[in-house]
């Protein structure tokens, strides 16, 4: 179905979405680029002129830069690994016959509905707190000194929170994928003499690969810009400062717009590297 | 109303030429069938007439008016799709009423027309059901109902029976033929099934690779196929095409003889062969024979007591012998 | 399935699955329980699960202190409108991609998705300036626009995958029946895609409801939604477990209840239409 008239119509109908997204992408991006070359300090006189690559050099040579990149990758990768592995296991479990499957599914889904500021605060105070948190209570109950998790294990704390939020998502997608597997395929493999573990590796895992791709793509998009969970828990302290958070501090707390914008450009470059990599995989898988 | 004329119509998809320049006139009130093997361009041709695809060059005229640049909605044609393409979220009544609603007709008039169409098509009891609750044949009738209420200048059918089982297909074939006799509207019907073409058409257009191989009435095509392709495509079982020495005896490259134009004997005749498979239908017996001239199929009226491995003799009816030159074209 | 499952297997499955389900749900359950405790019971050791003096006092205090209903209303308006406008813009675009694909369709789709990857913080200050210039700072209009834009790629993608499941012949039939393009979309495509559109609306409503970067950074008092409401409880002086729990429960309850009631559409939506 493609007449000239319908192709023209198609272009017109696509236009609003494309135009607003293009504007959304380009206008702030160009402004960020502009600021990144300025010496812009709103609290100390505003725009103090051209800065060349000073901001870029300062940002990347600052002692906080590489730890922030590392922190970002740690949180993204840590959460991805945990949610995908546990998600596969949980999906396999939920696919088994049981009583009250619907209710279990409701329970598992629930964390996805919890806004990040809430999950951050609830975990930080009611579970991870070294005085009144449940973890501390549990530690005392077995005679161990409670740990101040947020300070002593900030990555563990943050990854715990993000994984708790995203595990339902991974589980549900993977469960949907497993359920769409033709059970005759498994029966055939069983007839062919494949033991359970081999059926899992050679039939279920390949069948789920597309779903796993989707999980990784979507989660990466959201995890790269994790903000609120850190904002309300460590506030970037104790080495848990991600790139996002570092830039946020430069812009809003130190009010150094030039420096923050240069950081923003770095973050955009980092995101694009990840994006290109992901888009390759997804593009291949998108021909549905 | 209902004359359609294609003048030098071509269609390309990118670099591929699907329809080379093609001329065709479809007369008012005619039942025309486009037939050919899959990929021959028959559906594309129908979609070009419908306006669902642009033609690359040439013109399409409907009732003398140039319709080349007219959108599908404005051509005054109705189409019945292979998948029926019923609107699953609407009742049968709303499905049939949809084109009238789009035309802005008032509710009372729509209702009258839908009721009339439903009674013609035996759908009155199903008007408030959804397509999902209907059988294949009923869905087919709804699709036809949706087409006839518009009183189009021509109906386009795109392989409408291919999703039905064999028995239903024969019924619907009759219903569509009767519909044509009642409405006397031009119908263009696409199929890959030459039996449908032979039984329904006033005029058959045989297509291969976008080219028209022959246009004619069913019996014209049966009696005087223009080339070996049409000869092999029209008629069931297929015509036996024989080349080599036996054809040379007749002074041509290929001779053709239909299975029903061969007399079979156990005692003697022109060609000898051994039966590989015998199909006993009661009314007819089809014999697949391995002969010196190659694999042949012959038809014997009624029953005949032969089985696998028997030797038989075959004698062609010379008045029904077809002769084709080296270029595949018929020679007198 | 012809496989016969022993009752024993099923019992074990049930036990494991329920334990894990409850474990995952526990933080929410604990928050809800704590919201009904007195502050003393909330931090009692050993913890009190069900046997404490149930009280609604925390809810009253939270409402009085922070005016919950105003934040709730802001959340509903911002999440609802941004999703609705997004879907209205996305339906025609997704129609084009699904039914009149060109060589560039896939590239456009991937590009749209890639705008989603731009780190928000990278453009925080420009957005801040633009918002000040346009007088959008701390307005619902401004947030509706921003949240619409950040969710638009996902809305387009989801609708595209749902639309692709609809046979093109049906739309062609509508065209043959004399429907203009807007009518084809309104009377045929949209009703047929209702389940997909519902899933898209739901999921993006939740994403917008829970968005916590722009809502925290572009609002102050007037237009702040529930994400900001709860963030105000992160400051140490405001921290009492029972009140925090009550505020948290109030912030997540609407979406939790809505999510549970529409579980089926939501699960479909959660897969972003990419897994069948």
Question: Which residues, 6 or more positions from B17, have their beta carbon under 8 angstroms from its beta carbon?
Answer: B10, B11, B210
Query: Across the B/C interface, how many CB contacts are shorter than 8 Å?
Result: 62
Report yes or no: B279 at the A interface, CB cutoff 8 Å.
no
DSSP state of A2: B
Nearest CA distance, A288 vs chain B (angstrom) = 21
Please report residues of C whose CB lies closer than 8 A to that of A123. Answer: 27
DSSP state of C48: P
pLDDT of residue C5: 64
Tokens read off for C262: 């529409």
What is the tally of helices (H) and strands (E) in chain A?
14, 2
Burial of A25 by CB count in 10 Å (0-12 exposed, 13-18 middle, 19+ buried)?
Answer: middle
- In this prediction, residues C9-30 reach a mean pLDDT of 88
Contact (CB, 8 A) for B9 and B55: yes
Residue C29 CA to its chain's centroid (Å) = 20
- In this prediction, residues B256-269 reach a mean pLDDT of 90
Neighbours of C242 (CB within 10 A): 23
Q: Which of A8-12, A213-217, B309-313, C39-43 has the highest mean pLDDT?
A: B309-313
Which A-chain residues 3-22 have CB contacts (< 8 A) with chain B?
3-5
Nearest to B73 among C169, C180, C191 (CB): C180
| B214 strand-pairing partners | B206
Given a cut of 60, is residue C3 above it in pLDDT? Answer: no
pLDDT of residue A279: 72
User: Which single residue is written with the structure tokens 């392709």?
Assistant: B229
Q: C202 to chain A: nearest residue by CA?
A: A113
Given a cut of 80, is residue B55 above it in pLDDT? Answer: yes
How far is residue C85's CA from residue C77's CA, in Å, rounded to a whole number? 12
pLDDT tier, B247 (very low <50, low <70, confident <90, very high otherwise): confident
Name the pTM for this structure: 0.84
Nearest CA distance, A172 vs chain B (angstrom) = 29
Q: Where are the domains of chain A?
A: 4-287
Q: C19 to chain A: nearest residue by CA?
A: A104
Domains in chain B with CATH codes: 4-229 (3.40.50.300), 238-324 (2.40.50.140)
Mutate to test the interface with B, among A3, A5, A6, A7 (most CBs of B within 10 A): A3
How far is residue A146's CA from residue A136's CA, in Å, rounded to a whole number? 5
- In this prediction, residues C185-194 reach a mean pLDDT of 90
How far is residue B228's CA from residue B87's CA, in Å, rounded to a whole number? 43
Write the pLDDT tens digit of every residue in A102-148. 888 888 888 988 888 888 888 888 888 777 777 877 778 887 777 77
Given a cut of 70, is residue C217 above it in pLDDT? Answer: yes
pLDDT of residue A288: 45
Alpha helices in chain B (DSSP H): 42-50, 92-102, 107-120, 136-148, 166-183, 194-200, 218-223, 228-233, 245-249
pLDDT of residue C267: 73
Contact (CB, 8 A) for C118 and C53: no
pLDDT tier, C273 (very low <50, low <70, confident <90, very high otherwise): low
Nearest to C252 among A10, A102, A118 (CB): A118
How far is residue B288's CA from residue A177's CA, in Å, rounded to a whole number? 50
Cβ within 8 Å, pair B54-A2: yes
Given a cut of 50, is residue C84 above it in pLDDT? Answer: yes
Residue C25 CA to its chain's centroid (Å) = 18
Listed range (A106-110, A162-166, B187-191, B314-318) with the worst mean pLDDT: A106-110
Write the pLDDT tens digit of every residue in B203-236. 999 999 888 999 999 999 999 999 999 999 998 8
Q: Where are the domains of chain C?
A: 66-232
Listed range (A187-191, B46-50, B94-98, B152-156) with the worst mean pLDDT: A187-191
Question: Which residues, 6 or more positions from C10, have their beta carbon under 8 angstroms from its beta carbon?
Answer: A96, A97, A98, A99
- The interface predicted TM-score of the complex, written ipTM, equals 0.82
Distances (CA, A) of A203 to A208, A211, C35: 9, 14, 47
Neighbours of C3 (CB within 10 A): 9
Radius of gyration, alpha carbons of chain C? 23
Tokens read off for C267: 């699960």
Which C-chain residues 19-78 have CB contacts (< 8 A) with chain A?
20-22, 24-25, 27-28, 30-31, 34, 42-43, 45-47
Given a cut of 60, is residue C2 above it in pLDDT? Answer: no
pLDDT of residue A3: 76
pLDDT tier, B98 (very low <50, low <70, confident <90, very high otherwise): very high
Q: Got the DSSP string for B36-53?
A: -STTSSHHHHHHHHHTSB
List chain A pLDDT tens, one digit each, 288 residues.
467 778 888 888 888 989 998 988 888 888 888 888 887 777 666 777 777 777 788 888 877 888 888 888 888 999 999 999 999 989 888 888 888 888 888 888 889 888 888 888 888 888 887 777 778 777 788 877 777 787 777 888 889 999 999 998 899 888 888 888 777 777 787 777 777 788 778 778 788 887 888 888 888 878 887 877 787 777 767 777 888 888 888 877 777 888 888 888 888 888 888 777 777 766 666 554
- In this prediction, residues B170-197 reach a mean pLDDT of 91
Q: What is the longest distance spanned by two Cα atoms in chain C? A: 74
Mutate to test the interface with A, among C78, C94, C126, C162 (most CBs of A within 10 A): C126
pLDDT of residue C34: 86
CATH superfamily of A4-287: MetI-like (1.10.3720.10)
Q: Are strands B31-35 and B186-191 parallel, antiparallel or unpaired?
A: parallel
Nearest to B73 among C175, C191, C192 (CB): C175
Listed range (A144-148, C194-198, C246-250) with the worst mean pLDDT: A144-148
How far is residue B2's CA from residue A41's CA, in Å, rounded to a whole number? 77
Alpha helices in chain C (DSSP H): 7-34, 39-42, 57-66, 68-99, 105-115, 124-133, 140-164, 168-176, 181-183, 190-192, 194-210, 214-217, 226-231, 241-261, 263-270
Please report residues of A whose CB lies closer than 8 A to that of B52. Answer: 1, 3
Residue A43 CA to its chain's centroid (Å) = 33
Pick B314 or C5 by higher pLDDT. Answer: B314
User: Which single residue is written with the structure tokens 């597997």?
Assistant: A181
How far is residue A142's CA from residue B184's CA, in Å, rounded to a whole number? 93
Neighbours of B288 (CB within 10 A): 17
Tokens read off for B4: 């359609």
pLDDT of residue A282: 65
Please say whether the dihedral angle defined by the alpha carbons of residues B326, B328, B329 and B330, taken in this order, is positive or negative: positive
Q: C98 to chain A: nearest residue by CA?
A: A10
pLDDT of residue B113: 92
Report yes or no: B105 at the A interface, CB cutoff 8 Å.
no
Q: Got the DSSP string for B112-140?
A: HHHHHHHHHTT-GGGTTS-GGGS-HHHHH
Q: Got the DSSP string for B70-120?
A: S-GGGS-EEEE-TT----TTS-HHHHHHHHHHHTT--HHHHHHHHHHHHHH
Pick B291 or A188 by higher pLDDT. Answer: B291
pLDDT of residue B60: 92
Contact (CB, 8 A) for B221 and B230: yes
- In this prediction, residues B255-268 reach a mean pLDDT of 91
Cβ within 8 Å, pair B77-C179: no
Cβ within 8 Å, pair A2-B71: no
pLDDT tier, B312 (very low <50, low <70, confident <90, very high otherwise): very high
pLDDT of residue C235: 67
DSSP state of A129: -
Given a cut of 60, is residue B140 above it in pLDDT? Answer: yes
CATH superfamily of C66-232: MetI-like (1.10.3720.10)
Cβ within 8 Å, pair A115-C210: yes
Contact (CB, 8 A) for B131 and B142: yes
Q: What percent of chain C has pLDDT over 90?
A: 13
pLDDT tier, C275 (very low <50, low <70, confident <90, very high otherwise): low
Write the pLDDT tens digit of every residue in C88-110. 999 999 998 888 888 888 888 88
Q: B52 to chain A: nearest residue by CA?
A: A1
How far is residue C185's CA from residue C163's CA, in Å, rounded to a whole number? 11
Q: What mean pLDDT is reported for chain C? A: 83
- In this prediction, residues C261-275 reach a mean pLDDT of 70
Listed range (B190-199, C224-233, C265-274) with the worst mean pLDDT: C265-274
Radius of gyration, alpha carbons of chain A? 24
Report yes or no: C232 at the A interface, CB cutoff 8 Å.
no
**Omega within 30 of 0 (cis) for the link into B43:** no
Tokens read off for A120: 């951050």
Please report residues of C whose CB lies closer than 8 A to that of A272. Answer: 114, 117
Report which of B62, B270, B224, A28 is spatially closest to residue C122, judged by C-alpha positions: A28
Report yes or no: B77 at the C interface, CB cutoff 8 Å.
yes
């Amino acid at each position: 179905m493609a007449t000239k008239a319908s192709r023209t119509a198609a272009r017109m109908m696509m236009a609003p979405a494309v135009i607003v997204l293009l504007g959304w992408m380009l206008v702030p991006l160009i402004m960020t680029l502009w600021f990144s070359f300025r010496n812009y300090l709103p609290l100390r006189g505003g725009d103090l002129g051209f800065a060349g690559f000073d901001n870029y050099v300062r940002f990347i040579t600052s002692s906080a830069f590489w730890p922030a990149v590392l922190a970002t990758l740690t949180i993204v990768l840590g959460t991805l690994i945990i949610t995908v592995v546990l998600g596969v296991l949980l999906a396999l479990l939920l696919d088994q016959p049981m009583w009250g499957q619907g209710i279990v599914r409701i329970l598992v889904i629930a964390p996805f509905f919890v806004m990040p500021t809430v999950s951050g605060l609830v975990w930080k105070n009611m579970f991870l707190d070294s005085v009144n948190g449940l973890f501390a209570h549990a530690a005392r109950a077995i005679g161990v000194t409670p740990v101040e998790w947020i300070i002593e294990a900030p990555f563990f704390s943050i990854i715990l929170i993000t994984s708790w939020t995203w595990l339902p998502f991974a589980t549900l997608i993977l469960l949907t994928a497993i359920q769409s597997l033709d059970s005759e395929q498994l029966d055939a493999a069983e007839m062919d003499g494949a033991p359970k573990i081999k059926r899992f590796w050679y039939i279920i895992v390949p069948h789920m690969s597309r779903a796993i791709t989707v999980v990784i793509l979507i989660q990466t998009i959201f995890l790269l810009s994790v903000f609120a969970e850190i904002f309300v828990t460590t506030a970037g302290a104790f080495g848990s400062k991600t790139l996002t958070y570092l830039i946020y501090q430069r812009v809003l707390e130190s009010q150094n717009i030039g420096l923050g914008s240069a950081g923003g450009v770095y973050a955009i470059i980092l995101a694009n590297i990840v994006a290109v990599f992901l888009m390759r995989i997804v593009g291949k898988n998108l021909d549905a | 109303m209902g004359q359609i004329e294609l003048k030098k119509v071509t269609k390309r998809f990118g670099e591929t030429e699907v329809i080379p320049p093609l001329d065709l006139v479809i007369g008012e009130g005619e039942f025309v069938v486009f037939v050919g093997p899959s990929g021959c361009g028959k559906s594309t041709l129908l979609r070009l007439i419908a306006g669902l695809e642009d033609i690359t060059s040439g013109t399409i005229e409907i009732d003398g008016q140039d319709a080349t640049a007219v959108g599908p909605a404005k051509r005054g044609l109705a189409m019945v799709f292979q998948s029926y393409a019923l609107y699953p979220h609407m009742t049968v009544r709303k499905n049939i009423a949809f084109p009238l609603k789009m035309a802005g007709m008032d509710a009372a008039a729509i209702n009258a027309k839908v009721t009339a169409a439903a009674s013609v098509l035996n759908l009155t009891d199903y008007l408030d059901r959804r397509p999902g609750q209907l059988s294949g044949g009923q869905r087919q009738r709804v699709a036809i109902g949706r087409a006839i209420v518009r009183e189009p200048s021509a109906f386009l059918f795109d392989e409408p029976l291919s999703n039905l089982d064999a028995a239903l297909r024969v019924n619907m074939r009759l219903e569509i033929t009767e519909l044509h006799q009642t409405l006397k509207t031009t119908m263009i019907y696409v199929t890959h099934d030459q039996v449908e073409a032979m039984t329904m058409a006033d005029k058959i257009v045989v297509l291969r690779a976008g080219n028209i191989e022959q246009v004619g009435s069913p019996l014209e095509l049966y009696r005087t196929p223009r080339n070996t392709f049409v000869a092999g495509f029209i008629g069931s079982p297929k015509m036996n095409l024989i080349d080599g020495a036996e054809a040379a005896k007749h002074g041509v490259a290929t001779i053709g003889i239909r299975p029903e134009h061969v007399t079979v004997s156990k005692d003697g005749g022109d060609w000898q062969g051994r039966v590989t498979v015998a199909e006993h239908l009661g009314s007819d017996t089809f014999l697949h024979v391995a002969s010196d001239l190659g694999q042949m199929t012959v038809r014997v009226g009624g029953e005949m007591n032969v089985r696998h491995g028997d030797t038989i003799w075959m004698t062609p009816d010379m008045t029904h012998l077809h002769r084709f030159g080296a270029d595949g074209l018929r020679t007198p | 399935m012809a496989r016969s499952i022993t009752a024993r297997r099923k019992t074990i499955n049930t036990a494991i699955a329920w334990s894990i389900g409850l474990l995952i749900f526990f933080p929410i359950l604990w928050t809800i329980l704590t919201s009904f405790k007195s502050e003393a019971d909330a931090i009692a050791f050993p913890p009190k699960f069900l046997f404490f003096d149930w009280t609604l006092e925390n809810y009253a205090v939270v409402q009085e202190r922070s005016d919950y209903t105003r934040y709730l209303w802001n959340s509903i308006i911002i999440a609802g409108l941004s999703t609705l406008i997004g879907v209205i813009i996305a339906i025609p675009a997704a129609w084009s991609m699904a039914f009149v694909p060109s060589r560039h369709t896939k590239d456009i789709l991937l590009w749209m998705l890639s705008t989603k990857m731009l780190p928000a913080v990278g453009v925080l200050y420009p957005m801040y300036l633009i918002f000040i210039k346009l007088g959008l700072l701390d307005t619902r209009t401004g947030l509706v626009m921003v949240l619409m834009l950040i969710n638009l790629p996902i809305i387009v993608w989801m609708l595209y995958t749902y639309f692709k499941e609809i046979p093109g012949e049906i739309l062609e039939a509508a065209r043959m029946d004399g429907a203009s393009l807007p009518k084809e979309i309104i009377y045929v495509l949209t009703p047929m895609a209702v389940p997909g559109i519902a899933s898209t609306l739901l999921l993006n409503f939740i994403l917008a409801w829970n968005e916590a970067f722009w809502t925290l950074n572009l609002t102050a008092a007037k237009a702040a939604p529930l994400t900001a409401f709860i963030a105000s409880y992160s400051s140490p002086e405001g921290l009492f477990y029972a009140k925090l729990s009550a505020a948290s429960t109030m912030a997540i309850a609407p979406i939790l209840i809505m999510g549970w009631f529409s579980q089926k559409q939501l699960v479909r939506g959660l897969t972003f239409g990419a897994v069948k």
